[in-house]
Amino acid sequence: MKKTLIIIGIVILVVLGAIGIKMLIDNNSTEEISTSNINNMNSKTEKENKNVTLAGQNKGYSSTNPVIPQGFKTIDTEKAKWAYTDNNKTVVQGWNEGLVIEDQKGNQFVWVPCSLDSEKEINGTKIAKYEKCCARSSGFVDSTKETTVDGVTYKARPVENEDAQIAKYGGFYIARYEAGLDKLITEASTNINNVYTKIPVSKRGAQVWNYIDYTHSYVAADKMINDKSKYGNTKSGLVTGKQWDTIIKWYANSGIIKLDEDGHIVSQDWGTYKDKSYSVSGYFFYGPEEFSTSSTSSTIKWVLGEGEHKANADDHGLFHASGLNKNSIFKNIADMGGNVAEYCSDYSDKGSLAPIPKRGGSARYKTGRSNGSYNDVTCCTGWPDYAGFNDDIGFRVVLYLN
């Protein structure tokens, strides 16, 4: 009898132990499921909010801790590194040197830190104010022009308030390179380039997109980054006067250029201009000696150079593919000075026959005052909005983060 009770007791203990083990397993399974659910929730949150900092946070954006837009990855360059310098993860090492991001197609953009406060300084570095600072651009205002193509409306200025982005993020992204064509064409003309079917790229060595008018340029700029499934709410557009001038002020604060009190450049010893000695190896073209904006048949030929070619080798100047002139790259932004002049989205509200500004000057002319106009990085020359048949005018794209 006693032996039987002992056996029953042992069986009860075994059963209770088994139940306890099962409960423990069940509890652990519940914890694993909960953890999995939390991870799924976090993943869902990240999918809904993919604009993040380098630390992966969707908050804490600033000039020194730039936002990384959805659909883009960080790219380190020699001077601009994506690495935190502080334990709090608020200061990225290369924040003031031109941090680069890149999308899946290889398009690259550069971070421009700026502020709505002209007196703001960060770690002893003066931050450029987001405003028009160049006197030559003061005669142009925000554009309200828009065009409908295939039922879609594109605007020269795709946002109502540029300042809102600066207040939230502490800067903006501009295309690293002049707008280029994704496929090489050995001959270029208005008939070929002035179309609504192409989408620009921002890549080194891309054939620069010239022979395009103002309307086609802002439509192309709007179409470049405009896929919500890839980029979320981030979109692209044509560079504005505020953005161009903010970069000018950024350059001035960094000693790259020197401005007078009116925002005019004092001197410029770099860029792709007719009188500057520079060399490139890659695709280039010579502009025709005579050109008429009334003609749509003028054609230029792109040639692959086997060696180095200088701008002053031809009396009419030499234009090159995007980003080839090393002496025209500052803060990782290529060709702000010269090569092809670039449309800006602003326009003149003074009844001008040349209401559209083109910026930066072109390789067709020498730096300084030429043909009655200034030709340097601060250049802001009016241009007819109906004219798009010039070989020395292109455009550049910026990102708008909503």
Which pLDDT score, from 0 to 100, does residue 387 have?
A: 65
Distance, CA of 238 to CA of 157 (rounded, Å): 7
Distance of CA 373 to the CA centre of its chain: 28
Beta strands in 106-233 (DSSP E): 108-113, 121-122, 125-126, 140-141, 146-149, 152-155, 171-175, 180-181, 187-188, 207-208
By C-alpha distance, which of 224, 238, 229 is closest to 159?
238
CA–CA gap between residue 276 and residue 335 (Å, rounded): 13
d(C-alpha 287, C-alpha 301), whole Å: 9
Identify the pLDDT of residue 192.
84
Q: Is 258 helix (H, G, I), strand (E, B) or coil?
A: strand
Q: Which residue is associated with the tokens 């056996």?
A: 7
What is the C-alpha separation between 224 and 227, in angstroms, rounded?
9
What angle (nearest 5°) sits at the alpha carbon of residue 142, between those of residues 139 and 146? 130
The pTM (predicted TM-score) of the whole model is: 0.84
CB-neighbour burial class of residue 311 (10 A; exposed 0-12, middle 13-18, buried 19+): buried
Query: Domain locations in the chain?
Result: 117-164+178-400
pLDDT score for 35: 24
Closest-CA residue to 179 (of 142, 147, 225): 225
CA 221, chain centre distance (Å): 11
Give the closest residue to 322 by CA, choosing from 174, 179, 112.
Answer: 179
Q: Which segments within 287-383 are labelled E, that is strand?
A: 300-301, 303-304, 309-310, 318-320, 329-330, 333-334, 341-343, 347-348, 356-359, 368-370, 373-375, 380-383
| Cβ pair 97, 82 in contact under 8 A | no
What pLDDT is stored for residue 73 in this prediction?
97
The Cα–Cα gap between 116 and 157 comes to 19
pLDDT in 10s for each residue of the chain, 402 residues: 544 544 444 444 444 444 443 332 333 332 222 222 222 223 333 445 589 999 999 999 999 999 999 999 999 999 999 999 999 999 999 999 999 999 999 999 999 999 999 878 998 899 999 999 888 888 899 999 999 999 999 999 988 889 999 999 999 999 999 999 998 887 777 888 888 999 999 999 999 999 899 999 999 999 999 999 999 999 999 999 999 999 999 999 999 999 887 777 887 889 988 888 777 777 777 655 433 333 344 566 777 665 566 655 455 567 888 999 999 999 999 999 999 999 999 999 888 889 999 999 988 888 876 555 678 999 898 988 876 678 889 999 999 997
Q: How far apart are CA 281 and CA 306, in angstroms?
A: 7
Task: Give start and end residues of each alpha helix (H) in 177-309.
Answer: 190-193, 214-224, 228-231, 241-253
Amino acid in the structure at residue 146: E
Residue 86, token pair as written in the block: 């502080």
